[in-house]
């Protein structure tokens, strides 16, 4: 499929997490630069970019992000106390950073290029245990499993990559993969080694 539209600029929120398309991300925002970013995104109905931190930390001096991240759009927000904004964002398209600049308040902004929509395919029978495991985990967490796309290799692999306790560097590599079936194969191998796949 074709890559995204023209280059655009977004604010960046580097974090010690990897967000996938379709995933949800709860955040507690208190630094002035990110409060300003969040209010601007809400006002203009614009997404921001979530990137895994390559070097640095989430607070203080601007961190150096990994070059590939995921756009996030705020879908819920609440300010229970002054100076603390609680938001929930949902992952949209993946992107690659082309150029990055730091504003006076320490907020990073970047020109990005949207990556192609990843190739999706039906979960094959040989990898069906991955979908079964995800369904079981969601039910155990009290979530509704009805109506969810458990036949989609893109959706299943993204949700598994989010919840599995694997190194962030591996999650980043999984995010960067364009072939959802290959991502699911990698996850299947990891789960098999860890003996986490349901039998039968």
Within-domain flag for 200: no
Q: What is the pLDDT of residues 148-193, one digit of tens each?
A: 999 999 999 999 999 998 999 999 999 999 999 999 999 999 998 8
Q: What is the pLDDT of residues 25-64, one digit of tens each?
A: 999 999 999 999 999 999 999 999 999 999 998 888 888 9
* Claim to verify: residue 145 and residue 78 sit in the same structural domain: no
* Claim to verify: residue 18 and residue 76 sit in the same structural domain: yes
b/e burial code for range 26-39 (CB count within 10 A of at least 16 → b): ebebeeebbeebbe
Share of the chain above pLDDT 70, in %: 94
Tell me what the mean pLDDT of segment 194-200 comes to: 68
| Domain of residue 159, residue span | 125-193
Q: Is the pLDDT of residue 3 over 70?
A: no
CATH (domain of 75): 2.30.130.40
- The 3-state DSSP class for residue 102 equals strand
Residues 6+ apart with CB under 8 A from 114: 3, 4, 5, 8, 71, 93, 94, 95
Report which secondary-structure segment, H or E, holds 85.
Answer: strand 84-102
Which among 161, 147, 90, 149 has a CA at the least distance from the CA of 120? 149
């Amino acid at each position: 499929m074709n890559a995204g539209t023209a280059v655009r600029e977004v604010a960046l929120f580097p974090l010690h997490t990897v967000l996938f398309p379709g995933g949800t991300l709860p955040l507690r925002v208190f630094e002035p630069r990110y409060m300003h970013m969040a209010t601007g995104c809400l006002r203009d109905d614009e997404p921001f970019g979530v990137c895994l931190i390559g070097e640095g930390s989430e607070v203080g001096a601007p961190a150096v992000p990994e070059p590939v991240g995921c756009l996030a759009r705020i879908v819920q927000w609440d300010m229970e106390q002054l100076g603390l904004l609680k938001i929930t964002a949902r992952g949209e398209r993946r992107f690659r950073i082309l150029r990055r600049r730091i504003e006076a308040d320490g907020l990073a902004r970047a020109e990005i290029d949207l990556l192609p929509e990843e190739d999706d395919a039906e979960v094959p029978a040989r990898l069906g245990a991955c979908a079964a495991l995800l369904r079981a985990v969601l039910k155990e967490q009290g979530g509704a499993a009805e109506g969810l796309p458990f036949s989609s290799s893109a959706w299943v692999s993204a949700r598994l990559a989010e919840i599995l306790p694997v190194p962030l560097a591996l999650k980043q590599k999984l995010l960067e993969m364009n072939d959802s079936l290959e991502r699911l194969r990698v996850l299947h191998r990891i789960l098999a080694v860890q003996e986490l796949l349901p039998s039968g």
